[in-house]
Amino acid sequence: MAGHKRANRPGLATVYTAFGQLQAQVIKTKLESAGIPALLDYESAGVVLGITVDGLGEVRVMVPEALAQEAEDLLSQPPDWPPDVREPQTSASPSSRSGRGSVEPSNEEEAD
């Protein structure tokens, strides 16, 4: 178990360190959806004050030591996007990506 750190919680290993609750919750959910129980370990002052400087926003994602290697392997894989979700293309305009064309204003005058 060379890749994960043992923290001050016996039986648990840190497999990911996030900088903020949102990122940590996403990682925790990914692990739990794969059947790996996870715990978030953080300083409460960072959450209460909303500070993410000097380690206060640091959130350690911890799993049981026996599952640490499996968790690290899962987290090292690229995201498994559903077929209908694609990364945005930088060369296309927003209207062409959405499948809708732009609507040009009409030059015709309205009838009274």
The 3 state secondary structure assigned to 74-86 is: HHHCCCCCCCCCC
Query: Shortest CA distance to 43 belongs to which of 67, 64, 68, 24?
Result: 24
User: What is this structure's pTM?
Assistant: 0.61
Query: Any bridge partners for residue 46, and if so which?
Result: none
CA 102 to centroid of chain Cα atoms: 33
What pLDDT is attached to residue 86? Answer: 62
Output Rg (C-alpha) for the chain, integer angstroms: 23
Q: What class has domain 5-77?
A: alpha beta
Instruction: Delimit the domains of the chain by residue range.
Output: 5-77
Assess whether pLDDT exceeds 50 at residue 47: yes
Q: Which residue has the higher pLDDT, 78 or 38?
A: 38
Q: pLDDT digits over 63-106, tens only?
A: 999 999 999 999 998 877 777 766 666 555 454 444 444 445 55
Which amino acid type is present at position 83?
P
